[in-house]
Structure 1
Amino acid sequence: MRLGTHRLRVLRHARFRRFLLGQTTSLLGSGMNTIATTFAVLRLPGGGVDAVGGVMAARIVAVLVVLLLGGVFTDRLGARTVMLAADVLRFGSQAVLALLLLTGSVRIWEVVVLAVLLGVGEGGFMPGLSAQVPGLVPLEELADANALLAMARPLASIVGPALAGVLVAAFDAGTVVAVDAVSYGVSVVALVGMPEVRAQTSGRGLSGELGQGWREFTSRTWLWVTTLHIGLFNFFLWAPFLVLGPAIAERRLGGASAWGLVLASEGVGAIVGGVLLLGRSPRRGLAWSVAASAGWAAPVAALATRLPLTWVVGAAFLAGIGAAVCTTLAATVIQRDVPAEVRGRISAFDSLGAFALGPLGLALAGPVSGVVGVGRLLGFGVLWQVTAVGVVLAVPSVRRHEATPRVDARVGAH
């Protein structure tokens, strides 16, 4: 089916267009930042691979630590308020890092501290994203809005690193980090004037509100089962793929450029998947989301069976399509079925459950592959994912789940 204008009708809402522009810009900056910070740390006195790993780990840990607080404050203060504060923090941390890099006075510990602040901002921002979108578009257009937002991430993952590489070579890492800071500034401007999405919280205090969110999360079998599914996928399949894939590419596929092609193909597939979803909202979106997660096994299977680069690239493209379908439909189901008053906290528990095991998987992939072999570890991940999809789809509340839209007190789209 040709992409007609009716499939982009969600863009007629000015506030959503502004929000999408802000998100796309900030994601582009983030895609550039990873490359710039990595090369900056490598070139610092005392820098190196271990230092790069320390900076990345500090950022990820900060995100995970702050997620639940971000969920509570999203529900208590409002999604827009918390997202604005988070973006101001991200802007400030990157502006300071850019200044230090451009003046040549930065030290490793300062980069680590600023990475922690950046992670705090990201952890605070993420729960608000799920809570804010339903206040920007009509309920029936949520799937289209989520599809466009999902397309922004792979687009940024393709363009951002490539642009960063050019800018680092032409100028320096500090310039690229400064551009990242500006991208967060654009997001701040986009958020100003957005409708506030504030829930009526219980007033029980931090622990009480977290407890309420946890009870709401665990009371929905379809929600905690699918969250656990994604968390174990990240641990058993995707973490080994990200760690071992570059080494395999270096050894037999053609090096860094080949691995870049694999990741770019996955990104292109995600964009195509988002386009295919526009104008479509399956009745049983949750089941389709889980089924699509099987696509992630394709590139890992191609590596495990020692297929040539062309096959790995094609498999990564299929994984990208599956990723877009999985994440878009899952986000839409949560936004439609979860009450507005706990949406931020449930989003935080969902994100924490999905990503908490990722760092451990990244740390264990190398040592475990040295014991059992690269092919066997990747093969186990493929077997796990395919089996897990079947098991999760066998859960009645997942397989039979249909969206039951709620009437929330929320701001309508304009």
Structure 2
Amino acid sequence: MSLQPYRALFANRAVSLLVIAQWFARLGDQFVAIALLWAALELTRSAAATGLVLMAYTGGVIAAGFFAASLLDRYPRKPLMLADNAVRALCIGAAASLGLAHLLNVWVLAALACIAAMSSTITIVGMRVYLPTMVPEELIVTAFAVDSSLYQLAGIAGPALAGIVTARFGWAVAMSVGAACFLAFVLIGAFIPAGAIDRGIPPESRELSLSEELAGARYIAGNPLLRGLTVLVAMGNFFFGIAIVGLAFLSKDAFGGDARGQGFMLAALALGTLTASIPLGTGRWPYPRGISLITVSIILGVLVAALGYAPNLTLACLVLFVIGVVDAGFFIWMSELRQRTPPPELLARTISASMILNTVATPFSSAIAGLAVGALHIRPTFVLAGLALALYSSLFVRNKPLREAS
């Protein structure tokens, strides 16, 4: 395995600074995700109400997605990303301060979380769209692997540390750490050379209209490959999202643990993804991307169902490590197909629309997870979510444009 592609990628100072800054932002996301769940549980004492709070958090990302793409198409991206992370630091810092003062209620928590999530779309979309445009064509797959790997590095350190901090010091302290991570993005990102993120696809003035903002969604609807890919990923994320939210309840109800168990399981998932992402980023996958995506999605469903039978935390972490290994390929191949298909002038709007459509059902998976745990208990919830994911994914074997995509 040659590391030369990675050396070439990180020789670019702007890329290095953006990747490091984004690692801190994603680390902050991990702290917020765990702290938010346990804060909602403490304030409401209800799994269903907690699911609704998480729904508000994930729903904020979807609500602002088209707006983020519009801003990124028109204005310099570095100031937008810095402002995004400053807003997140303020919102999450405010929630932490109110929590430490015992003045926070669930409505204020949900509102602050939703605002922070809406702001986050600028950096989320900007990173996915413009990091690959900052490098030569031969390094695009490596850029996707780095994007996945840095997410998983944050996913290894973040959940484990956040779980320990939340269990020992409380969710408000964990949120304070999250706010500090967003502030770190601002401090590091300030050193990115001016205009570096804009060089691949420069911002341009264009008429502000609903038709323009929906151009990416229309392109997806009219492209058989992206249409099939989006339908597969959207519902796949719904079923997989139930399992991710369910990890907290698996730790608490099945294993008799706390936030630490949830953090260790998320870290195992991220470690598996990182383990596979690095070698996948050094070369070309020899098989068609489409059928590989479908096969991997079916396998993920089977593994999620198996997680419902895990007798203890150790075996659950092992299953999640394997899930992470399998999921790494899914993310890289999906991103590659999505990046290479649309024309440059529609790239930001298409990827933004794709990210919104891919996650449009995710807020509901948070709410459904809370309701399902209350009605069915946690283990049957995992089994049903996993089987549904496997069966749903198998339907796409008959989708020719997606199946034959290379």
Same fold (TM over 0.5): yes
Which residue does the alignment assign to 1:212? 215
1:185 aligns with 2:183: yes
Residues 38 and 381 (structure 1), Cα distance of their counterparts in 2 relative to 1, 3 Å cut: closer
Listed one character per residue, the Cα deviations across residues 200-230 of structure 1 (whole Å, up to 9, x for unaligned) are 7683423021232222221221112111111
Q: Equivalent of 1:91, from 89, 92, 100?
A: 89
Query: How many Å separate the matches in 2 of 1:171 and 1:303?
Result: 29
Q: How does 1:90-239 map to 2 (within 5 A)?
A: 90-102=88-100, 105-168=103-166, 173-192=171-190, 193=193, 194-196=196-198, 198=201, 203-235=206-238, 237-239=239-241
Does residue 337 of structure 2 align to residue 333 of structure 1?
yes
Q: Which amino acid aligns with 2:326?
A: G
Whichever residue aligns with residue 343 of structure 1, its letter is L
Question: In structure 2, what is the equivalent of residue 28 of structure 1?
Answer: 27
Paired position in structure 1 for 2:350: 346
Q: Distance in 1 between matches of 2:262 and 2:23?
A: 24
CA distances 1:353-406 after superposition (whole Å, capped 9, x unpaired): 21111222333346567878977765554444334444434433223334xxxx
* 1:63 CA drift (Å): 1.4
Q: Which amino acid aligns with 1:266?
A: L
Q: Secondary structure at 1:57's aligned position in 2?
A: helix
Structure 2: how far apart are the matches of 1:176 and 1:379? 31
2:239 equivalent to 1:241: no
> Hey, what's the Cα distance between the residues in 2 that align with 1:364 and 1:184?
30
Q: Deviations over 1:328-350 (max 9, x none)?
A: 22212322332222222212221
Q: How far off is 1:303 after superposition? A: 3.6
Tell me the distance in 1 between the aligned counterparts of 2:167 and 2:246. 27
Gaps of 5+ in 1: 403-414
Q: CA deviation at 1:81?
A: 4.4
User: 3-state DSSP class of the match of 1:342?
Assistant: helix
Q: 2:322 aligns with which of 310, 314, 318?
A: 318
Identity of aligned residues (%): 21
The answer to whether the 8 A contact 1:98-1:174 is kept is: yes
Q: For 2:25 and 2:198, how far apart are their aligned partners in 1? A: 20
Matched, 1:363 2:367: yes
Query: Alignment RMSD, CA only?
Result: 3.3
**Distance in 2 of aligned mates of 1:214 and 1:153:** 26
**Does structure 2 conserve the Cα–Cα contact (< 8 Å) formed by 1:31 and 1:160?**
yes
CA contact (8 A) 2:51 2:368 kept: no
Q: Distance in 1 between matches of 2:5 and 2:165?
A: 38
Distance 1:361 1:38, change over 3 A: closer
Q: Structure 2 stretches of 5 or more lacking a match? A: none
The amino acid across from 2:359 in the alignment is: F
Give the direction of change, closer, same or farther, for the CA distance of 1:31–1:203 in structure 2 (3 Å limit): same
**In the aligned structure 2, how far is the partner of 1:344 from the partner of 1:129?**
10
The residue aligned with 1:400 is 404
1:172 positional shift: 5.7
Q: Which residue of 1 aligns with 2:58?
A: 60
Contact 2:298 2:391 in 1 (8 A): no
Say if 1:79 and 1:131, in contact at 8 Å, map to a contact too.
Answer: no
Give, in whole Å, the separation in 2 of the partners of 1:52 and 1:374: 15
AA partner of residue 291 (structure 1): T
How far residue 84 of structure 1 moved from its aligned partner, in angstroms, is 3.1
1:99 CA displacement: 4.1
CA contact (8 A) 1:262 1:312 kept: yes
Q: Match for 1:399: what amino acid?
A: R
Q: Between Structure 1 and Structure 2, how many residues are aligned?
A: 397
Q: What residue in structure 1 maps to residue 273 of structure 2?
A: 270
Give me the whole-angstrom Cα distance separating, in 2, the residues matched to 1:113 and 1:250. 26
Preserved CA contact (<8 Å) 1:286 1:399: yes
Q: Closer, same or farther in 2 for the Cα pair 1:229/1:202, shift >3 Å?
A: farther
- Amino acid in the other structure paired with 1:69: F
Query: Matched residue of 2:283: which SS?
Result: coil
After TM superposition, the score normalised by the length of structure 2 is 0.83
- 2:303 matched to 1:299? yes
Secondary structure in structure 2 of the residue aligned to 1:203: coil
- Which residue identity is paired with 2:215? Q
Task: Please give the secondary structure, in 2, of the residue aligned with 1:195.
Answer: helix
Partner residue in 2 for 1:14:
13
| 1:83 partner letter | M
The one-letter code matched in structure 1 to 2:13 is A
Measured in 2, the distance between the counterparts of 1:122 and 1:220 equals 28
Q: Aligned partners of 2:295, 2:163: CA distance in 1, in Å?
A: 36
Note the C-alpha offset of 1:34: 3.0
